[in-house]
Structures are given as structure tokens and as C-alpha cells.
């Protein structure tokens, strides 16, 4: 990919990109149907509802029913996309997702918006920083966290006929579009956006952009940081992690999610068994979110580029570098 730089001024929420991509796959695949739990204006499934009203189902404030209906539609030969806020899609509907979708390995695509702290003013009741952990623990569930609008569009096109259940984590907040039109997403494959030999910053979702900016700050200190977009948290790209461990010996994971059970845990689990590297997990440190503007929350929880750069320096010290 070459050296990625964080210079984009265009900001688009990944939920907006999802809404547009849904219409595209709906035009290509007549078997695609979309279900929503009375939040279509927020999840942006409203775009699909307007384009294909006969293939859209507003299930009301009934996430369990939505997931069960999606399972039934999948058994009938449809390709269902089910959307709600991430807190409710993974929390309120968990038992139905587990038993009716994942256990029979049905091709239901759960695309949940408003994940992480950047839900903002809705506060802790609507923020989830545990959804990656919940979903990746389910056998056979694929978990994807796109970094920007460009990747989100590619993700939706990639999963539409991908076998089995998929969880896609989407954001409410508008964030820079920076990956470029030449970017190529592949399920299960991480992408090294910036190459470095001193430390590897492995990130997912909105934190990938901040990781690139952090690498630029580190370069000013003479530290060469690799930045890797681990969009697919499950299945994890173990080959990439092995190469990073051998080259750098120090890895910093960054996510807008709890450090318990998310990307950091997945990377640590893999390297504990398969590689040699000091791994430092960075994200939400076992606490709930709170109400506030999205950027203010990222600053409060120290998830800005300067915070990530400092954590990289700390990781290098820990590794004796």
C-alpha cells in the first residue's frame, strides 16, 4: 500500500456508507432483504426501504423478533441484513442470535450501527464497548470492523454472499475517509497501511485513522511505526501478526472497544501461542462510556493520535527498545 497519510478532509460515518451500499447490493441481488428495529433513519437502512419497500421489514422495537425473523427468511432462501444499534443487536438479542442464527450457521448479516464511544450524547446506555467480544465468542461468527466509508462499502459487497453469519460494526460519528479508492478489503486479511520496523500499531474501526496520525507523530521522534488495519477481527490474520512479531517485536493494539475480549485480546491470544512479541492492549480500560460529543469522549478516554503515540513509546520501553 505504501505509506498511508492522514490528510483527508472528507468525513463520512460508516453507517452512511452502509446505507448506500445496501441499495447497491439490493440492485444486484434480488434475494437480499433488510430488517430494522424501528431505527432505519439512524442505521440508514431507510435508503433500502425507499428503494425496495417490498423487501424491507420494520420489526418495531423488538430486536429478538427481528433476529428470529431474519433466521426464518434465511431458511427460506433470502439473504437477510438485520440492523439496529450495536448495543441492542448484540446485547438485547444475543440469545436469538446465538441459537437461531449462529448455531445453525445461517447467512444473516448483522450490521449494527452506533457502536463504541462515538455514539456520543446518547450516553452509556446506548454505547457498547463489548460487542466485538460478544460476537467473536460465538463459534463460526465472522466479525468485521471497517475503518472508513470506502472500506465499509467494500465490506457490504464482500459479505452479501459470504457463507454463514457476519457481524459488521458501524459508527454513528462522521470520520475521515482516508483509505483511497485503490484500497482492497478481503475477509480475513489485514492490510499494512504504513511500514515500520520499530513497533506495529494494529487497529480496527475508527482508530485506524488515529493510528496513522500517531505514526506520523512517532516519525517526528525517529520511531518507525507500522500501521495495520485489522478490519477482520475474526477470523484473525495470523500470518500478518507473525510477520509483525518477527519484524518489530513490539505490538500496540488500538480499538474503540474494551481491552477485554476485543481486538487486543484476539491479538494477544494468537501471539501468546504462535509468536514472540511484547503486546500492549489499548482502548477502553474496563469502564463504561458517558454522554458527550464524540470527539470530546475520544479525548477524555485518551484515544487521540497523541495518546496512541505515547502508548507506543511506553510499549517500546516495556520491550526494552
The alpha carbon of 108 is separated from its chain's Cα centroid by a whole number of angstroms, namely: 17
Q: Could you say which DSSP state residue 312 is in?
A: H
State pLDDT tens for residues 64-97. 999 999 999 999 999 999 999 999 999 999 999 9
Which residue is associated with the grid cell 493510528?
211
Whether domain 191-318 has CATH 3.40.50.300: no
CATH 3.40.50.970-classified regions of the chain = 11-176
Which residue is associated with the grid cell 517526528?
220
Under the phi-then-psi rule, with left for phi > 0, alpha for psi from -120 to 50, and beta for the rest, what region is 90?
A: alpha
CATH 3.40.50.920-classified regions of the chain = 191-318
Q: In the predicted model, what is the mean pLDDT of residues 218-242? A: 97
User: Cα dist. 306→123, 209, 226, 299 in Å?
Assistant: 25, 12, 16, 10
Q: In the predicted model, what is the mean pLDDT of residues 259-272? A: 96
Interacting residues of 21 by C-beta distance below 8 A, sequence separation 6+: 152, 153, 155, 156, 157
pLDDT of residue 319: 79
Mean pLDDT of the chain: 94
State pLDDT tens for residues 121-177. 888 888 899 999 999 999 999 999 999 999 999 999 999 999 999 999 999 999 999
State pLDDT tens for residues 93-115. 999 999 999 999 999 999 999 99
pLDDT band at 6 (very low <50, low <70, confident <90, very high): low
**11-176: CATH architecture:** 3-Layer(aba) Sandwich (3.40)
User: Cα dist. 75→20, 60, 96, 141, 290 in Å?
Assistant: 26, 22, 15, 17, 40
Amino acid at each position: 500500500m505504501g505509506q498511508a497519510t492522514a490528510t483527508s478532509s472528507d468525513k463520512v460515518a460508516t453507517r452512511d456508507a452502509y446505507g448506500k451500499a445496501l441499495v447497491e447490493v439490493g440492485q444486484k441481488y434480488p434475494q437480499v432483504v433488510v430488517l430494522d428495529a424501528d431505527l432505519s433513519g439512524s442505521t440508514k437502512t431507510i435508503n433500502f426501504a425507499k428503494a425496495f419497500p417490498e423487501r424491507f421489514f420494520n420489526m418495531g422495537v423488538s430486536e429478538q423478533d427481528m433476529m428470529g425473523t431474519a433466521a426464518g427468511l434465511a431458511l427460506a432462501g433470502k439473504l437477510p441484513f438485520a440492523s439496529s444499534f450495536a448495543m441492542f443487536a448484540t446485547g438485547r438479542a444475543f440469545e436469538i442470535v446465538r441459537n437461531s442464527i449462529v448455531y445453525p450457521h445461517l447467512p444473516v448479516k448483522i450490521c449494527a450501527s452506533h457502536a463504541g464511544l462515538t455514539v456520543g450524547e446518547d450516553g452509556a446506555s446506548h454505547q457498547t464497548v463489548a460487542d466485538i467480544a460478544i460476537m467473536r465468542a460465538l463459534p463460526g461468527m465472522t466479525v468485521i470492523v471497517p475503518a472508513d466509508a470506502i472500506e465499509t462499502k467494500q465490506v457490504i459487497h464482500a459479505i452479501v454472499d459470504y457463507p454463514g453469519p457476519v457481524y459488521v460494526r458501524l459508527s454513528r460519528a462522521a470520520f475521515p475517509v482516508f483509505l483511497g479508492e485503490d484500497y482492497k478489503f478481503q475477509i480475513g486479511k489485514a492490510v499494512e497501511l504504513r511500514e515500520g520496523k520499530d513497533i506495529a500499531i494494529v487497529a480496527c474501526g475508527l482508530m485506524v485513522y488515529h493510528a496513522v496520525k500517531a505514526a506520523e507523530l512517532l516519525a517526528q521522534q525517529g520511531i518507525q511505526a507500522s500501521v495495520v488495519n485489522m478490519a477482520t477481527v475474526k477470523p484473525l490474520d495470523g500470518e500478518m501478526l507473525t510477520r509483525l512479531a518477527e519484524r518489530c517485536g513490539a505490538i500496540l493494539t488500538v480499538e474503540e472497544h474494551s481491552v477485554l475480549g476485543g481486538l487486543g485480546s484476539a491479538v494477544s491470544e494468537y501471539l501468546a501461542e504462535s509468536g514472540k512479541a511484547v503486546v500492549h492492549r489499548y482502548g477502553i480500560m474496563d469502564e463504561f462510556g458517558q454522554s458527550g460529543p464524540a470527539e470530546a469522549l475520544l479525548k477524555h478516554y485518551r484515544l487521540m493520535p497523541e495518546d496512541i503515540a505515547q502508548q507506543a513509546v511506553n510499549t517500546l520501553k516495556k520491550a526494552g527498545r
